[in-house]
Each structure stands twice: as C-alpha cells, then as structure tokens.
Amino acid sequence: MSSSVAVREIRLALLGFGTIGRAVALAAPAYGVQCVSALVQHPERHAASAGLTLERDGSRILDADVDVIVEALGGVEPARTLVAAALERGIPVVTANKSLLAAHGPELRARAALAGVPLLYEAAVVAGVPFVGALTSRAGLRSVTRITGILNGTSHAITTAIERGESFAAALADAQARGYAEPDSSADVSGRDAAEKLAILLQLCGAPNTTAADIERTGIDALTAADFAAARGRGGVIKPMATATLGPNGWTANVGPAFVPSTHLFAGLSGVTNALELQPRVGPPITFVGPGAGPEITAQTILDDVIEAVR
C-alpha cells in the first residue's frame, strides 16, 4: 500500500513590485512558491494578478501569513525598517538589495542571528553565481587577502561594446534596450553599484564596518575606443574592476576601469558576465564566473534563497 503526503506551497510576500519583484512573482510557481501579497506605492497602476494582494501599508505585509519575505524595494529606506521588523517577528528575509546591505548589512545580520531566522542575499553580489552561503560557512573566507572582480554586468556590457568601437552613448543605449541597464544607469556607470557589492564582500571578509563610501571609485563614462586600442598595444584589455587588498593597515579598495593582461581569465570575458576571484592567505585563488545582469537571473537566485530559507 502506498501513501502520499501533500506538500504545502511556500508562501511569500514581496516588498516591492518593480522589475525584480514582478520577475520573482512570474518565476515563483515553477519553484512551488506562491506570492500572496506585494507592497506597492500605487496599487491602481498595476494590473490585477490572480492570488496576489497589493498593499500600500508595509505593516499589512508583515502581518500576512507567509513563510518568507522577499525585499525588492531597492534603496535603503524604507527597506531597512521593514526588513528589521520582519526579522524581529521571526520571518525569514531574502533580498538582492546591495545598497541596503552595504549600508546596514552588519546590523541586519545581527538582528537575524538574534531572532534565529535566515537573512539570505545570494543575489546581492553576483546574481548568477550563488557563493555567499558556501563561503560564509567556511573559515577560508575569513583568511582572504585580496578580492578582484567584475561585479557589475551592465558596465561590463558597456565596456565590451566600446572595445568593439562603439561610443559610450551608443553602448549605454544598447544596454538599456536589452534590459541590462535601467533608464537611470548612474549607479552602474559611476561604479557605485560595484562599490556597494565590494563593501558587502569586505564586510564578510573581516571588515564589518565597510560601506561604499570607503571605496574609491572612477566611472566608465570617459572611456573611448582609443583607450582600448592602447590597452591592446600593451597586451591586455580594459575591464570595469573592483579590487581590494589587505595590507598591514587594513583594506584598501577601489572600483573603476583597469588594465587586465590578456593572460588573465578576466580578459576573455565579455558582455554581462560577472567574475570574482578571492585570494586566501594560503593556497590558490578561488574563482567564480557567471551572468551578472537581468531580472530573470536575479529572480532565480532569489527563489533559490527562498527555498533555502524554509528548509
């Protein structure tokens, strides 16, 4: 005689229903996840969605009968206040909000630990390469002495196009048309997005008080095809790099266009691909490579975290 046990769908609430929030809601059923409510400023501007209640009031989201809250508001406030409140109520939280974590990551991780619930954010650094959970559980991460990476897929797509001979303006317009870049792409172009991601990594690598403001950054908007030609003449390429090195007086970190020798793995990467190389104190570097832009990739990683949060 055989028997079956019904598996209840995971119920989640969304804080925010923009590009990322909608992508999560669209992909959720394939993961056995039901989006039951979403916080929006203007419910009347959104088409009705079966089974999804749109709310203006964040407290109603927190009061809902859900297993996980996905924060997709972006920015620091009201995201910080709502995430902190959810954690204090014992509700697991998943986020891809690098601005929030760069500014308040240590505080929120402490709140999550005190409440005994997960705060997961694999999609906040390299959206298509889940690595945070694996590394934070290993002592090797605490011994990292150098971080090198291409952490912003949009700026990488733009610099790839400039290398092919396009102007910065044309490359940016193409990235926006493909959905890689937002209409306001200042965070990508200025290096702020990559600096926030690097700040999160540094927080996890023993510099818990690091914020994006501590990281020197240079934008990519002044690059021209001539710069890339000069780099080729030197036997390399230009990439939008994020770098941090641990020295006797602590970490030094910067974000901006940098020369990469053609012999380095990063030199052969293009488009929206992200890459991260962590050099531990002992042993060879650990390298991660994967897609780094697009709402679908981000939503997939968020939903992987949702599943992990309720295990």
For this structure, is 239 an active site residue? Answer: no
β strands within 40-118, DSSP E:
53-55, 68-71, 93-95
* b (16+ CB within 10 A) / e for 193-212: bbbbbbbbbbbbbebeebbb
SS3 per-residue string spanning 153-211: HHHHHHHHHHHCCCCHHHHHHHHHHCCCCCCCCHHHHHCHHHHHHHHHHHHHCCCCCCC
| 253 bridge partner residues | 244
Long-range contacts at 30-34 (CB < 8 A, ≥ 24 apart): 31/303, 31/306, 31/307, 32/7, 33/9, 33/303, 33/306, 33/307, 34/9, 34/10
- HSE at residue 85, side-chain half, CA atoms within 13 A, is 14
Q: Which of 171, 79, 127 is nearest to 301 (CA)?
A: 127
The answer to whether 309 and 118 have CB atoms below 8 angstroms apart is yes
The answer to whether 99 and 44 have CB atoms below 8 angstroms apart is no
Q: Is 15 helix (H, G, I), strand (E, B) or coil?
A: strand
Catalytic annotation, pick one of 80, 98, 156, 197:
197
Q: What is the DSSP string of 282-305?
A: SSS-EEEEEE---HHHHHHHHHHH
The answer to whether 168 and 181 have CB atoms below 8 angstroms apart is no
Which amino acids are annotated catalytic? 197
